Structure 1
Amino acid sequence: MNYKNVIGFGVAGNFAGHLEQAGEANDFLAVKTQEAVQPKAIFPFYVPSEKAGFLSVYPLSSNKLRFPDNSGDNLQIEPEIAILCHVIYQNNQVVKLIPYSFGAYNDCSIRRPNANKICEKKNWGAETKGLSDTLIPLTSFELGGEIDKYRIACFHRREEKTEIYGLDSPALGYSYFHTKLLDWIVDRMNNQPDQGPMNNIAELLAIADYPTEAIISIGATRYTEFGESHYLQKGDTSIVVVYNGEKYTKQQILEMAQAQSFPDDISALIQQVIK
């Protein structure tokens, strides 16, 4: 599916311990938060406007992951849930986000310690992000809604060997979730400054002529020991799975990942790493 008219954002620091594992916690030392578990910032990964520089390149793919030109870059899978939202404006300010579906997302990132902005690690061209073709309808983003039953799993395949890359985690494990997360994102869309690793999001919405839909990846889970210490190589396969934890077991999901075959009620994202 094509989302070239949809703006794309990610949430940084919404799962306890991920930034530390990714070596990015120091990027946010100067970012003040109101509580310890609050996410650090939102960042753009795609802005549908020719005025947006490298962020104007459409990065999403459901089956490929393009390796950076610089072979020295360390590339890691970032398993997440993405929510697709209607964006409601009033006087060019975001007043509400209305989520309508969700699915498996790979916020694949380059570990660049000298990057000035988060977004510089996120979009290095076409086919550098991942969103599953199988999205799950969302009728409510309140406590008790469909998404509360879901879990996030992540696997890495190389030479027919499948390893668990991310800790199998519940959607309810996000630090900010439901209305609290949406309200915080709306505030950041309107008020986040161009400061340190952050972008001014209101300016990006303006140059994109106020898109009415957004893809928002709401945060990466923690890595296993294997995931924390292994980077992607050409020929690898990245697998991110968002599944109903009341219907399927972790073992069943692992077996599906090994076979690279999933039923239609699971949002699975299988990407081949290419040059």
Structure 2
Amino acid sequence: MDLTRLIGFGVAGNFAGHLEQAGEASDFVNVKVKDAIQPKAIFPFYVPHIENSFLNVFPVSHDHIQFPEGADNLQIEPEVCLICDIEYENNQVKALMPRAFAAFNDCSIRRPGARKISEKKNWGSASKGMSLQRIALDKFSSGGELDRYHIASFLRRNGECHAYGLDSPATEYSYFHETLLNWVIDKMNHQQDEGPAEDIAALLKAAHYPQQAVISIGATRYTPFGEQNFLQPGDESIVVVYDARCHTPEQIRNMAVTGEFTGEGMSLLRQQVVAD
């Protein structure tokens, strides 16, 4: 799969408490939602073919994060991403068909006052992460394969391992399954360029209506360590999406401590933080 052909979107505010921990809840104070658990917006992190935009730089790496010069507030955002086929009708998105999922790091620069969400998401090559281990989806509905998976994340620094995000079942996403897909389709077709959000239909047109998308569906809550500690060059970021039928949270934590991940039923993303 040539990922540079896929458009990249993320979902903001799809895990209760994350935006507050990240200090970003105020960015969405004027965004209208129909209920308390509804996500706030979708945002682009990569748009192929678009001209004169930082979003045309492919930002996804499977093994490293490029530490931007002068940054001091870079955070792991541990997520599940869906690899979806897109069906169009009259230049609008008619359907999204998730085909696989993987561990994803929607790594972000905390920039208070940033005009758009995307300005925190793509600072160049290797500013995102996606595991090479993509797990086929039988269905993205209740009882499907992803329902059995958890999301965990860790930071390894100076020989020590710290839990960065809370170990979280994928089913704890606020919007999931058909509810999430229907909401994303609506945002692709109707979200406007307002506040921190962007006109997604215009971006799809600029990208020549790509046939597939990578959609990261939201970051989990942080541990106290993850909330208070930012990435530094030399760190290792770990995001693992694992089958809870095969591994316990304690087993996954022990693997992160030793640096040796073994067994079936996981999508593993390990990235070294490197500086120029």
TM surpasses 0.5: yes
Residue type of the partner of 1:89? Y
Residue pair 1:22, 1:228 contacting (<8 A) in 2 also:
yes
Q: Name the CA shift for 1:146/1:137 in 2 (closer, same or farther; >3 Å).
A: same
List runs of 5+ in structure 2 lacking aligned partners: none
Question: Distance in 1 between the 2:235 and 2:169 partners?
Answer: 26
Question: Distance in 2 between the 1:15 and 1:79 partners?
Answer: 11
Offset at residue 50 of structure 1 (A): 3.9
List runs of 5+ in structure 1 lacking aligned partners: none
RMSD: 0.9
Question: Distance in 1 between the 2:204 and 2:83 partners?
Answer: 16
Structure 2 partner of 1:241: 240
Offset at residue 58 of structure 1 (A): 0.2
Structure 2 partner of 1:114: 113
**TM-score, with length taken from structure 2:** 0.98
Structure 2 partner of 1:193: 192
Q: Percent identity?
A: 57
Write out per-residue CA displacement over residues 2-48 of structure 1, whole angstroms, 9 at most, x where no aligned residue.
40000000000000000000000000000000111000000000000
Question: Distance in 2 between the 1:180 and 1:237 partners?
Answer: 34
Question: Distance in 2 between the 1:260 and 1:202 partners?
Answer: 42
Q: Name the CA shift for 1:33/1:4 in 2 (closer, same or farther; >3 Å).
A: same
Residue pair 1:188, 1:201 contacting (<8 A) in 2 also:
yes
Offset at residue 246 of structure 1 (A): 1.7
2:92 pairs with 1:93: yes
Structure 2 partner of 1:23: 23
Question: Distance in 2 between the 1:53 and 1:259 partners?
Answer: 41
Q: Name the CA shift for 1:245/1:48 in 2 (closer, same or farther; >3 Å).
A: same
Residue type of the partner of 1:11? V
Residue pair 2:74, 2:109 contacting (<8 A) in 1 also:
yes
Residue type of the partner of 1:176? Y
Question: Distance in 2 between the 1:207 and 1:103 partners?
Answer: 26
Question: Distance in 1 between the 2:52 and 2:270 partners?
Answer: 29
SS at match of 1:206: helix
Question: Distance in 2 between the 1:127 and 1:224 partners?
Answer: 25
Residue pair 1:75, 1:110 contacting (<8 A) in 2 also:
yes
Residue type of the partner of 1:24? E
Superposed counterparts of 1:125-274, under 5 Å: 125-262=124-261, 263-274=263-274
Question: Distance in 2 between the 1:60 and 1:52 partners?
Answer: 19
Offset at residue 51 of structure 1 (A): 1.4
SS at match of 2:216: strand
Write out per-residue CA displacement over residues 38-79 of structure 1, whole angstroms, 9 at most, x where no aligned residue.
0000000000014151000000000000111223x4100000
Offset at residue 169 of structure 1 (A): 0.2
Q: Name the CA shift for 1:176/1:7 in 2 (closer, same or farther; >3 Å).
A: same
Q: Name the CA shift for 1:270/1:228 in 2 (closer, same or farther; >3 Å).
A: same
Write out per-residue CA displacement over residues 190-216 of structure 1, whole angstroms, 9 at most, x where no aligned residue.
000000000100000000000000000
SS at match of 1:156: strand
SS at match of 1:4: helix
Question: Distance in 1 between the 2:195 and 2:18 partners?
Answer: 20
Offset at residue 127 of structure 1 (A): 0.4
Question: Distance in 1 between the 2:51 and 2:57 partners?
Answer: 11
Residue pair 2:246, 2:264 contacting (<8 A) in 1 also:
no
Offset at residue 260 of structure 1 (A): 2.5
Question: Distance in 2 between the 1:247 and 1:32 partners?
Answer: 40
Write out per-residue CA displacement over residues 124-177 of structure 1, whole angstroms, 9 at most, x where no aligned residue.
000000000001100100100000000000000001100000000000000000
Structure 1 partner of 2:78: 79
Question: Distance in 2 between the 1:160 and 1:125 partners?
Answer: 28
